[in-house]
Amino acid sequence: MSYLPYCVAAWLFVIGLYGVVTSRHLVHLIVCLSVVQSSTYLLLLSIGFRDLPAQAPIFSDVPPGTPAVDPVVHALTLTDIVVSATVSALLLALVMDVQRRRGSVDPETLSPFRE
């Protein structure tokens, strides 16, 4: 098992956050947030990974005792994806309303309590 997936997860996390911090467009910002979240999927899956004879955790037509990767992290990742979809959908809906009412989605020009 190599360290590569962990490095990629860390890189995704950092590059996504860089995008969030520097973004000039709210939709872009939300996509960056999803990139940050993808790093958690990758991390979870890498933690449960076992080297090859291990199969995907689908147990319907294999003999009992067949080695498989950890199914728990798959369940966690699925839940995480559901969370991600909810948050992204809600945020995008809010951004659409911002665009409708203010005509701009640049966080530099928006702020709730600018003086």
Binding mask 15-44 for other proteins (x = CB under 8 A): --x--xxxx--x--x---x--xx-xx--xx
Count CB-CB contacts under 10 A for residue 22. 11
CA atoms within 13 A on the CB side of 1: 13
As given in the structure block, the two tokens for residue 45 are 């899956």
Closer residue to other proteins (CB): 61 or 114: 114
98 binds other proteins (CB under 8 A): yes
- Looking from the CA of 98 toward its CB, the CA atoms found within 13 Å total 17
Question: Counting contacts by CB under 8 A, is residue 13 touching other proteins?
Answer: yes
Q: Under 8 Å CB-to-CB from 10, ≥6 apart: which residues?
A: 39
Name the residue type at position 48: G
Considering the rule CB under 8 A, would residue 111 count as an interface residue with other proteins? yes
Tell me, by CB under 8 A, how many residues bind other proteins.
Answer: 40
61 part of the interface to other proteins, by CB under 8 A: no
Enumerate the β-bridge partners of residue 68. Answer: 55
Residue 50 engages other proteins in binding (rule: CB under 8 A):
no
**47 residue type, one letter:** I
Binding-site ranges for other proteins (CB under 8 A) = 13, 17, 20-23, 26, 29, 33, 36-37, 39-40, 43-44, 47, 72-73, 76, 79-80, 83, 86-87, 90-91, 94-95, 97-98, 101-102, 107-108, 110-115
